Every structure is written in structure tokens, then in C-alpha cells.
Amino acid sequence: MLPYMNKYIQKNLIRIVLFVAIQVLVFKHVPLGPYAHILFYPLAILLLPIEMNATLLMLIAFLTGLVVDLFYHSLGVHAGAMVLMAFLRPTWLRMLQPHLGYDRDDAPLASGFGLIWYLQYTSVLIFVFLLAYFSFEAFSFAYLTDILSHTVLSFVVTMIMVLIHQMIFNPKR
């Protein structure tokens, strides 16, 4: 069992590192105008095992966000939004739970639960992440229209990238 767990942990750690690297080396530098941003790296947290301990999930989300904050010079904005998303993830997964429940090793993928389930799962949590991120960044609801514009436009481009990722790396079998 130990070699399986090491391989399992290694796979998820590599995924997180790759997603953060892609975010800070590629997507950070993709100009989409003043309101749209590709914030793809939260998907690394969303793809962690469904039955992962909530405290560990939030710790991983915090550390991941903190690393991205270092590259964006954003003083905890990414970390805060990631922790909020990770905090809400178990509740949202319970709300989406199939009648027979989840298996211990289930990963939240469209290939396992269907595209509609996957879109419900990722879209709500990514929208929450983006809304929190842009709210923390503005640090005032006086900029509510800017916050909502950033959130909606970034949501569209980020979800397109999430779907492309899903189609390439986890095609329906």
C-alpha cells in the first residue's frame, strides 16, 4: 500500500507544480485585455481526491496560492481565494454527490462522473475563487462593477482552459 500512496502523492504534487508553473510562466503573460485573466492553477486543487482531508486540502490550497502570490506580488490575494475555494469544496461535493456516493479513491473528473457533473463542480468553485480573488484584489466593494467584470470575463476564459484540459488529459473512455 505504501508504494501506491507514494505514487499517488507524487502524481498530485507534480500536477500542482506543473499547474503553478504554467500559470506563472505562461498564463500570467497572456494579454487578454484589462478585464480578462486566465487563472487556471486552481484546477490543481479541484482535481485532488474527493475524500481528501479538508484541513490538508486547505493547507495545500494556501501553500499553492502563496507560491502564486510570490510571482504575482499580490500579498496573499491568491492564497486567500484558494483557501476559500478549498473550504467550500467538500460542501459542494456533498451537494453534487451521486446516489451511491463516492468511492474512496475517486478523482473529480468528467470521465468518471460525466461532463455535466464536472461542469457543475468546477464552474461554481472557480467562479467563487475568481469572485474572491478580484474582491480581495480591489479591497473595496466601491469597485463592484470592475470586480464583476473581471470575474465574469476571467470565468469564461478560465473555463475554456479547464474544458480543454479535461478533453486532452482525461477524455471520456
DSSP structure string for 72-97:
HT-TTHHHHHHHHHHHHHHHHHHHH-
pLDDT at 171: 66
Q: Judge contact between 90 and 54, C-beta under 8 A.
A: yes
| Number of domains into which the chain is organized | 1
For the record, the C-alpha cell of 116 comes out as 455535466
pLDDT at 9: 81
In tens digits, what is the pLDDT along the chain, a chain of 173 residues?
Answer: 445 456 778 889 999 999 999 999 999 999 888 889 999 999 999 999 998 999 999 999 999 999 999 999 998 999 999 999 999 999 999 999 988 888 767 889 888 888 999 999 999 999 999 999 999 999 887 789 999 999 999 999 999 999 999 988 876 64
Spatial separation of the C-alpha atoms in residues 132 and 134, rounded to whole Å: 6
User: Cα torsion at 37, 68, 19, 13 (round to 10°)?
Assistant: -160
pLDDT at 160: 95
Q: Considering the entire predicted model, what is its pTM?
A: 0.91
pLDDT at 6: 66
Q: Judge contact between 155 and 133, C-beta under 8 A.
A: no
Closest to 159 (Cα-Cα) out of 134, 132, 130, 136: 130
The residue segments making up the domain with residue 153 are 2-169
For the record, the C-alpha cell of 117 comes out as 457533473
For the record, the C-alpha cell of 77 comes out as 490575494
pLDDT at 172: 63
pLDDT at 140: 80
Burial (CB < 10 A; 0-12, 13-18, 19+), residue 129, is buried
